[in-house]
Chain A
Amino acid sequence: MVSATRADALPTPAAPAREQTRARYPDRVGFTERAGGRIFWEAYGAGDPAIVFVPPWQIVHSRVWKAQIPDFARRHRVIAWDNRGNGRSDRPRDPMVHVTRERAANLLAVMDDAGVDAAVLVGVSSSSGPMVVVAAEHPERTLGLVFICPSSPFGSPGPKGSAPFEAPLTDDAGWNKENIHFWRRDMAAYLEHFFGEAFPERHSTKQIDDGIEWAMSTDMETLAATVRTPRTLDEATFAALCSAIRAPALVIQGTDERISDVTQGIGLAAAIPGAVTTLVEGGGHLVHVREPVRVNLLIRSFLEALP
């Protein structure tokens, strides 16, 4: 059912496709202005603790939490926001705006503007970076951490990102598609590959379609800037930040992880004092999208056990 247009995918950010209907609409939305950027956020519901859904890579935007927001907003104040580079946030082309500490500062600024003093932070994939920074350096604002299939420097690198992004390649197989020359030739084929790997579970056609739609609401050059962002926190620094965390932490890791690697999630849990890992058998990278009932119940149990 994949129906992305071919080479001209990600044409311009000017005309976003009409959004699908939602199960629940936000009670309040806002834009946070910070460091010359503009960050869109949404607030839903009421109730403590507040939950902030932290955005991952800009290949998706805040609709990646569509199966969580209506559930948790019944009992909690919920914030979802778009990283700079997708959704209703701006489209910077400078890779340095996306370094981990900038993303952490954006997270704190959104919490400030939304009036959230402290929250449970829930993220997926590369959300782990800013979550770890905020939890380590602002413990008073971090009530708990849920990492879904997190990236971390502690495990195997995983297949994605193994090929060079800038150099022309002779072969387009597999993750060699994550290459700017291939993107310019056939971005739609890259997106089909990415979301096919992100959703290895059978009967995922709807989730794959949604993922491609979210990716197509940004543009290729903006997304390329996020790939060019250097890693600024080395393994030792990241490990020190993890060991400073005092908030309760849960890692939810799909065993059929094909974007990151299972060992990155397990390694992150090992680096954070007291963190617990729950494996979801057969789950892929975006397991909260594909298995929302299972994942939401795991998060709910985690919330109920908070001090």
Chain B
Amino acid sequence: MSRAPTETPSAPRRTHDAGRARLPDATGVARSTDGVGIAWESFGSGDPTLVLLPSTPIIHSRQWKAQVPYLSRSWRVITYDGRGNGLSDRPTDPEAFRSERIVDDLVAVLDATDTEAAVLVGLCGDGVWHSILFAGEHPDRALGIVAFSVGVPLLSPPHPWRVQYSTTDELPTDEGWAKLNEHYWRRDYPGFVSFFFDQLLPEPHSTKQLEDTVAWALDGSVDSMLGDMHAPSELSLERVTEACQAVRCPMLLVHGTDDRCQPPSRAQRLADMTGAPLVILEGAGHLIPAREPVKANLLIAEFVRGLAGRSR
């Protein structure tokens, strides 16, 4: 794999955007409460609307490339680039990456696209945790949540390798998860993303997904990543539990047994806490929608169809 320079682009960028299986019917930029511009795209027209949340700022909306063409045949699908990557603005201030701001972005996109309520589909903390926060605060606007690689913080201890090294101290090594470190990021951000996504794609025959995710990460801004790393957070297990129990809409949880980012125990805890069904995929890694798109798409479609019989 060729290495891009450590310098990441400061201008909006999304590689390989032209040759898509499905091009958007409408695009726009939503203005979030703090003024950050959020680039969104809309595909198809069926009801309900599905919003596929970005794993921001590490990658952008193309992470859903294997979902958009399929789901938009039946439903209106909205994707957007999170702040710090793709065609959205690239703030670097840690304050800009508070959870509240990330939820603001979702609200701004819903408003800009005249979406009263939507089914939320997310991956990991960026997608899942913010969907849960949104659903608790705006119960009328969340019709359901499909949570892949359930990233709800603090519900269970992190994988030991994720906390083996300091993310902020200068380390004597760059080996393995020591790459999850701000000094290493400044030295060799491509080295980090190549390692990181390789860990998230443990399945054999993932070379294409690895190439894609690394390219999308290098579309983003390492300064925004550093802002995100230092974002203030006042989380506690009580606060997380409260937020999870505040969700009133149906949820579906999907987790791989070989997820090296989020431990499967977090999905199990959330399922126990909320009664949401949990689908465990044997041997799957973290990036289920990218690596197992057929399974992921069928699970999403079945969930959305199941909502139809429910009164709103």
A202 to B204, CA, bound (A): 15
User: Which A residues are in CB contact (< 8 Å) with B211?
Assistant: 203
Q: How far does the Cβ of B295 sit from chain A's closest Cβ, in whole Å?
A: 15
Q: Check B208–A206 contact: CB distance below 8 A.
A: no
**A90 is an interface residue with CB less than 8 A from chain B:** no
- Known: A202-B208, A205-B204; 9 extra A-B contacts, CB below 8 A, are A1-B204, A202-B207, A203-B207, A203-B208, A203-B211, A205-B205, A205-B207, A206-B204, A209-B204
Report the bound CA distance from A205 to B211 in whole Å.
14
Question: In the complex, A202→B211 CA distance in Å?
Answer: 11
Q: Produce 1/0 per residue, B172-216, CB < 8 A to A.
A: 000000000000000000000000000000001101100100000
How many angstroms between the C-alpha atoms of A206 and B208 in the bound complex?
11
Chain A proximity mask over B141-170: 1 for CB below 8 Å, otherwise 0: 000000000000000000000000000000
Per-residue interface assignment for chain A, residues 229 to 257, with 1 indicating a CB less than 8 Å from any chain B CB and 0 otherwise: 00000000000000000000000000000
Query: What number of A residues sit within 8 Å (CB to CB) of B?
Result: 6
Contact code string B206-248 (vs A, CB < 8 Å = 1, else 0)? 0110010000000000000000000000000000000000000
CA distance A145 to B299 in the complex (A): 42
Bound-state CA distance A205–B208 (Å) is: 10
| CA A185 to CA B208, docked complex, whole Å | 33
Which A residues lie at the B interface, using CB under 8 A? 1, 202-203, 205-206, 209
Q: In the bound complex, how far is the Cα of B209 from the Cα of A202, in angstroms?
A: 12
Task: Report how far A209 CA is from B207 CA in the complex, Å.
Answer: 14
**Which positions in B face A, CB cutoff 8 Å?**
204-205, 207-208, 211
- Closest A residue by C-beta to B203: A1
The minimal Cβ–Cβ distance linking B205 to chain A, given in whole angstroms, is 4
The complex places the Cα of A45 from the Cα of B204 at a distance, in Å, of 32
Chain B hits for A209, CB < 8 A: 204-205
| A209, chain B: closest CB distance, angstroms | 7
> Could you tell me the distance in whole angstroms from the C-beta of A213 to the nearest C-beta in chain B?
13
Least distance between B298 CB and chain A CB atoms (Å): 16
Complex CA gap A168/B275 in Å reads 69
Task: Report Cα–Cα, A1/B205, bound state, in Å.
Answer: 7
Smallest beta-carbon distance A108→chain B, Å: 38
Cβ of A199 to closest chain B Cβ, rounded Å: 12
Enumerate 15 A-B pairs (CB-CB under 8 Å) in ascending A order: A1-B204, A1-B205, A202-B207, A202-B208, A203-B205, A203-B207, A203-B208, A203-B211, A205-B204, A205-B205, A205-B207, A206-B204, A206-B205, A209-B204, A209-B205
Cα(A206)–Cα(B203), bound, Å? 11
Residues of the B chain whose Cβ atoms lie less than 8 Å from the Cβ of A203 = 205, 207-208, 211
Smallest CB–CB gap between B240 and chain A, Å?
Answer: 38
Q: How far is the CB of A96 from chain B (nearest CB, A)?
A: 40
Complex Cα distance, B37 from A36, in Å, reads 76
Task: Name the distance in Å between B203's Cβ and chain A's nearest Cβ.
Answer: 10
Chain A contacts of B204 at CB under 8 A?
Answer: 1, 205-206, 209
Closest chain A residue to B207, Cβ basis:
A203
Task: Give the residues in chain A near B207, CB-CB below 8 Å.
Answer: 202-203, 205
How far is it, in angstroms, between the C-alpha of A1 and the C-alpha of B204 when the chains are bound? Answer: 7
CB distance from B142 to the nearest CB of A (A): 37
Q: B50 to nearest A CB, angstroms?
A: 26
- Tell me the complex Cα distance, A205–B204, Å: 8
In Å, the complex CA distance between A218 and B207 comes to 29
For B208, list chain A residues within 8 Å (CB). 202-203
Cα-based distance from A206 to B207 in the complex (angstroms): 10
A230 to B211, CA, bound (A): 45
Distance in angstroms between the alpha carbons of A206 and B204 in the assembled complex: 8
Which residue of B204, B205, B211 has the most chain A CB atoms within 10 A of its CB atom?
A: B205
Q: Which residues of B contact A206 (CB under 8 A)?
A: 204-205
A-B residue pairs, 10 tightest by C-beta:
A206-B205, A203-B208, A1-B204, A205-B205, A203-B207, A205-B207, A1-B205, A205-B204, A202-B207, A209-B204
For A1, the chain B residues whose CB sits under 8 A away are: 204-205
In the complex, how many angstroms separate the beta carbon of B21 from the nearest chain A beta carbon?
12
User: A34 CB to closest chain B CB, in angstroms?
Assistant: 39
Q: How far is the CA of A94 from the CA of B201 in the complex (A)?
A: 47
**How far apart are A218's CB and chain B's nearest CB, in angstroms?**
24
Nearest-CB residue, chain B, relative to A205 = B205
Q: Smallest CB-CB separation from A202: which chain B residue?
A: B207
Residue of chain A at shortest CB distance from B204: A1
Across-interface contacts of A202 in B (CB, < 8 A): 207-208
